[in-house]
Amino acid sequence: MMGADLKRGWCPSLLRPMESGDGWLVRVRPRAAVITAVIARAVAGAATRYGNGRIEITNRANLQIRGLRPETVEPFAAAMEAVGAADDGPAILVSPLAGSDPGVAAETLDLAAAIARASGLALPAKFGVLIDGGGALPLAGLSLDVTLRAAGGRWLLDGAEVAVEDAAARALALAEVRACAPRQVAGRTDTRPALGFHPYGDGRQGAVLLAPAFGQLQATQLSSLADLAERLGDGSLRPTPWKSLAIAGVERRDEGLLRDLARQIRLMTEPDDRRLGIVTCVGAPSCSRGEVETYAAAESLALSRHEGDPLLHLSGCAKGCAHPGPAEVTLVGENGRFTFIRRGRPGNEAVAHGLTLAQCAALMQSVPA
C-alpha cells in the first residue's frame, strides 16, 4: 500500500506519509468534525506503539502523528482502519460543533457528506473545502480554496448566495475549475475564539475549548481527554483549525470541573494564557528543515508577553508552515539564530538578521506595536 508513496514532499495524510527530522508523519482526519473517544484512544495507543507519542493539531483541524518509522507506517494505518478512522478523501474543514450545537446550520454535515462522496474528483494534495455552519464556534476569519458559509438562513459560496439544494454541486463544480488553476491562498485572520465555555443557544449546554501548548499533545494527554469527553461531554473530541480541541455537549454546571481536570493534564484552559499569542511550528530537530529549536524558544518568549499583545509567529525556517498570513512580529530561524520581520510573513523585508532569542525579545519590547 505504501511503497510508492513513501517519499519526501507529499502533503501528508494517513495513506501518504511525509518524512521529517524525527521520522515519518501521517495525519488522521476527523469524520464530520468528530474524533470519537474510541478513535482518540486508538490514535494515542498507535502513536505510542508505532511513533514517538507526539501528536499535533494542524491548521486544517487534523491530528498529525509524528515519529513513525518506515516499517510502522502500515501498521499505524491498519490500526486506524480497524476503528473506522481511515479517511483519505477530499480535505473538508467543517464547523467543529456540527451535530452538537443547534446553532450550527442543519445542512452543514449533509453538505460535507455530499462533497466527500465525490470520490472521483481529483484535487491537488493541499486543496481544501471549508463548510462553515456558524454556531457557537464559527469558522469566521478562515477560508480555503472553496468556502461555503451559512449566513442568516442562506448559504454563500465564496460570498455569492446559492440555494442549499444546489450548494454541494456548485461547490464541486468550482473545485474542479480551481483544481486546474493556480492555487488559491488560504485566508486566515488573527481572530480566534477564546478558550473556555461557549454556550449553545439555550445556555444550559455548550462546548469547552481547550488547547495544548503550541498545538502539540502527548499521547497520554489525548487518552485523558477522551476520558473527560465521555465523563463530562458527548463522548467526542472536536479538533479545530486554531490548534485547539472542543469537548461538546457539556452541561454549564460541569464546565468548571472539566477545565480543572484539563489543567491537571497540562492543557491550556484560560483565554489569557500568554502562550496563546504565539504560533509556532515543530522546528529543529523534529523538522529536517528547521534551523532553530522552536518550542523552548516559544515558552521563553511567552514569559515576557502580556494580555493583548499582537500575534507572534515563530517559524523554524523560511517556509512559515505554522501561519500562512502576516503577523505583527515574525521570527524566522536562520542558522541557529533569528531573522526579525515586523508586520509580515517569512520572506518579507526583515528588520534584522542573525539575532539571538534575547535580542529578539529586547527588540519586541523596545519598538512600539
Q: Do 241 and 192 meet the contact criterion of CB atoms below 8 Å apart?
A: no
**pLDDT for the residue numbered 126:** 80
For the domain made up of 196-273, give the CATH fold: Alpha-Beta Plaits (3.30.70)
- Please confirm whether the linkage preceding 30 is cis (ω < 30° from 0): no
User: Per-residue pLDDT averaged across 299-324, rounded?
Assistant: 89
Q: d(Cα 28, Cα 251) in Å, to the nearest integer? A: 28
> For the CA atoms of the chain, what is the radius of gyration?
20
1 pLDDT exceeds 80? no
**pLDDT for the residue numbered 258:** 98
**pLDDT for the residue numbered 90:** 78
What digits encode the pLDDT tens for the residues 15-27?
889 999 999 999 9
User: Per-residue pLDDT averaged across 81-100, rounded?
Assistant: 91
Give the range among 139-153, 184-198, 283-297, 334-348 with minimum mean pLDDT: 184-198
Q: Do 269 and 263 meet the contact criterion of CB atoms below 8 Å apart?
A: yes
Q: d(Cα 367, Cα 357) in Å, to the nearest integer? A: 16
The contacts of residue 65 (CB under 8 Å, 6+ apart) are 25, 26, 27, 28, 43, 46, 47, 51, 54, 55, 76
Q: Is residue 24 within a helix (H) or strand (E), and if so which, with residue range?
A: strand 23-28
Q: Phi and psi (nearest 5°) for 173?
A: -65, -40
User: Per-residue pLDDT averaged across 276-283, rounded?
Assistant: 92
Q: Do 207 and 136 meet the contact criterion of CB atoms below 8 Å apart?
A: yes
Cell of 350: 526583515
275-366 CATH pick, 3.30.413.10, 3.10.20.90, 2.40.50.140, 2.40.10.120: 3.30.413.10
**pLDDT for the residue numbered 10:** 55
What digits encode the pLDDT tens for the residues 144-182?
999 999 998 899 999 999 999 999 999 999 998 888 876
Per-residue pLDDT band at 6 (split at 50, 70, 90): very low
pTM score: 0.91
The alpha carbon of residue 207 and the mean position of all alpha carbons in its chain are separated, in whole angstroms, by: 17
Give the range among 7-11, 100-104, 302-306, 356-360 with minimum mean pLDDT: 7-11
11 pLDDT exceeds 80? no
Give the range among 71-85, 157-171, 236-250, 318-332 with minimum mean pLDDT: 318-332
- Domain borders along the chain are 196-273, 275-366
Average pLDDT, the chain: 91
Q: Do 252 and 203 meet the contact criterion of CB atoms below 8 Å apart?
A: yes
What digits encode the pLDDT tens for the residues 205-230?
999 999 999 999 999 999 999 999 99
Cell of 250: 457539556
The alpha carbon of residue 50 and the mean position of all alpha carbons in its chain are separated, in whole angstroms, by: 22
The contacts of residue 180 (CB under 8 Å, 6+ apart) are none
Q: d(Cα 165, Cα 39) in Å, to the nearest integer? A: 32
**pLDDT for the residue numbered 160:** 96
Q: d(Cα 314, Cα 364) in Å, to the nearest integer? A: 13
In 10 A of CB 243, how many CB atoms?
A: 23
Collapsing DSSP to helix, strand or coil, 353 comes out as strand
**pLDDT for the residue numbered 367:** 57
